[in-house]
Structure 1
Amino acid sequence: AIVEDMYKLVMLPGEEIIHVLPQEYIVDNEQGIKSPIGMSGIRLEANFHIITGQVTAAKNIFKCVNKAGLEVTELILEPLASAESVLSDEEKEAGVVLVDIGGGTTDVAIFQDGIIRHTAVIPFGANIITDDIKEGCTILKYQAEQLKMKFGSALASENLENEVVVIPGLKGREPKEISVKNLAHIIQARMEEIIEQVYYEIKNSGYEKKLIAGIVLTGGGAMLKHVSQLVEYMAGMDTRIGYPNEHLGKGSMEITSPIYATSVGLVMKGLEYSDKQKNKQTKVTTHSKKTKGGFFDKLLNKTQKFFEEGEND
């Protein structure tokens, strides 16, 4: 009930509460309680991490899903879904930063002691790197995207000076040669900016010294070569790439890429919701059966007593 009450908080116009995430409960001044269920006390308090979003953005998502012939059950923050598919329970317990480098945004979620402690959305991601390549190399956007994916690197020092890529010229124009090292310089400059923003969020969270498991990178931007080395160098924390394959079967190799981390996480959240609904229905059915059984048993007993008394008379 206390969590549900948080959803009733008055928000700024145009905003709504998406998630209410309990940080800790306090029962009669006893702090640090993860779950107060089963405890007895007089006063219950709690600290929450509340995530809000724009109403119009949420409505647009609902419309998009509905037009596809589907129904929206729940709205999930992107890094929470990604965390579901790429992070282990041990990492969440030890303390970990999930960095989901998507196309338009870079999402940050910090877990510690098994609880999400901090979330942030940085308003630029891998798409802006493509735009930088397009402008820096004066090529078309689709060519910039292909260059980034095939030859891009987040560390310029890892590329040879004389390595070049030839891009077909526009109609009637000569092909263009692009230095792979210069390409890496463009990518590295923007990636450093993104990492600086991520590191600012880590420091701002207050958990910088408590993140034993380091940083996990996922999303399309995590597929850039040498990106984990750059993050590890700049943040000074152990870094790995998060693949959503921990919960997938053997025949699911095509969706084990970090690109699908959020999608896999959403499916897992959906299955979790479905299981909860089934359990609720099972409990209701069981309860109703017990109730019916009790009523008929009582009725049968009364009937038997009635006939027994009649025979005795």
Structure 2
Amino acid sequence: AIPHNREVIHVIPRGFTVDGQEGVRSPLGMHGFRLEVEAHIVTAATTSVQNLTKCVESAGVQVESYVLNPLASAEVALTDTEREMGCVVCDIGGGTSDLAIYIEGNVWHTMVLSVGGNHITSDIAHGLRLPADLAEKIKIDHGSARPKDVDASEYFSVKPFGEEKPVQVSKADLAMIVEARVEETFNLVLQEIKRSGYDGLLPAGIVLTGGTAMLPGIRSVASDVLNLPARVAEPTNLHGLVDTIRGPQFATSVGLLKWAARETLAAARTPQQSRRTRKTIDGNMGRMSDWLKRLLP
């Protein structure tokens, strides 16, 4: 039973059994007396959902439904082959790292880990005695997750708390701070993959999305810690979108648009409704693209 303080976000079928016949991907069109389903259920804290709904609606937008981050990212980041072979999507945002394991084309496991890019920023701020906003800028401008890839002779200037003049900091020293937190993050990912029991079923490896996935060297660290193939993904197979939003940090946002379009088309009951719906979606996507072109440099 679902706890009273949790709300169901997704019910994702893994497979069906028809009259004892297992391994049925879709029972549509089949005859039988008994239908069973094995499903993965995603829930969220009811208060969190209510607060998020209130926040969005206060901005004048109605919430139709919720989608877990890595599921939205997977819409535009994964290939069909990766879904079938077995892989894990890791969306590394500011406060969390969100995981989704795909096997045989379906979601088999999800988890949200309470570690993300903000923790790297905090480590830099504490290690170099800097304000958080400056630490974030340094992470973006000079950060790397692999000290061995950084030229030890390269330095940058910062003014720590309590110092009257700027001091020189080695990029290699910065990379060591970043590497420690990134390795910890992927060790937590590894623990969760092993806990799921699917660690031997992921030949397609790990696909990284989210803003923190832009960190130089992060792919190599992920591959080393997890002993899996790793790649940094970005939205693909999309038309009409400006290049500025094709980075991994936009995978969830673009994936949400694709998710909504797919669900809207699926809800169309007749071919005529489907054509009208697709025309509306294409128009909305076009307006979204025009808006982004005006908004982004």
**TM surpasses 0.5:** yes
Task: Provide closer, same or farther for how the CA distance between residues 107 and 31 of structure 1 changes in structure 2, counting only shifts above 3 A.
Answer: same
Match among 73, 84, 90 for residue 93 of structure 1 = 84
Contact conserved, 2:147 with 2:175, CA < 8 A, in 1? Answer: yes
Displacement, 1:158?
1.6
Contact conserved, 1:219 with 1:258, CA < 8 A, in 2? Answer: yes
Task: Provide closer, same or farther for how the CA distance between residues 283 and 207 of structure 1 changes in structure 2, counting only shifts above 3 A.
Answer: same
Question: Structure 1: how far apart are the matches of 2:165 and 2:129?
Answer: 14
1:9-45 CA distance string (max 9 Å, x none): x422321111111111111111111111111112111
Name the residue aligned to 1:304: none
Q: Is residue 252 of structure 1 aligned with residue 242 of structure 2?
A: yes
Question: Structure 1: how far apart are the matches of 2:236 and 2:271?
Answer: 31
Q: Is residue 83 of structure 1 aligned with residue 57 of structure 2?
A: no
Name the residue aligned to 1:146: 137
Question: Structure 1: how far apart are the matches of 2:237 and 2:94?
Answer: 24
Displacement, 1:88?
1.4
Query: Match of 2:81, SS?
Result: helix
Question: Structure 2: how far apart are the matches of 1:55 and 1:280?
Answer: 35
- Unmatched 5+ residue regions in structure 1? 1-9, 285-313
Range with bigger deviation, 47-56 or 62-71: 62-71
Query: Match of 1:119, SS?
Result: strand
Query: Match of 1:209, SS?
Result: coil
1:36-65 CA distance string (max 9 Å, x none): 111111211111111110111111221122
Task: Provide closer, same or farther for how the CA distance between residues 283 and 152 of structure 1 changes in structure 2, counting only shifts above 3 A.
Answer: closer
Q: Percent identity between the aligned chains? A: 39
Coordinate RMSD, CA, aligned: 1.9
Match among 93, 111, 124 for residue 115 of structure 2 = 124
Q: Is residue 274 of structure 1 aligned with residue 264 of structure 2?
A: yes
Name the residue aligned to 1:308: none
Q: Is residue 239 of structure 1 aligned with residue 239 of structure 2?
A: no
Displacement, 1:218?
0.6
Name the residue aligned to 1:23: 14
* Count of paired positions: 274
Q: Is residue 109 of structure 1 aligned with residue 95 of structure 2?
A: no
Name the residue aligned to 2:49: 58
Question: Structure 2: how far apart are the matches of 1:156 and 1:203?
Answer: 28
- Unmatched 5+ residue regions in structure 2? 275-297
Query: Match of 2:251, SS?
Result: helix
TM-score normalised by L of structure 2: 0.87
Name the residue aligned to 2:286: none
Query: Match of 1:91, SS?
Result: helix
Contact conserved, 1:86 with 1:246, CA < 8 A, in 2? Answer: no
Task: Provide closer, same or farther for how the CA distance between residues 186 and 267 of structure 1 changes in structure 2, counting only shifts above 3 A.
Answer: same
Question: Structure 2: how far apart are the matches of 1:241 and 1:50?
Answer: 27
TM-score normalised by L of structure 1: 0.83
Contact conserved, 2:129 with 2:161, CA < 8 A, in 1? Answer: no
Question: Structure 2: how far apart are the matches of 1:137 and 1:62?
Answer: 38
Name the residue aligned to 1:46: 37
Question: Structure 2: how far apart are the matches of 1:269 and 1:78?
Answer: 11
Task: Provide closer, same or farther for how the CA distance between residues 172 and 52 of structure 1 changes in structure 2, counting only shifts above 3 A.
Answer: closer
- Structure 1 consecutive aligned stretches of length 4 or more whose deviation exceeds 6 Å: none
Larger Rg: 1
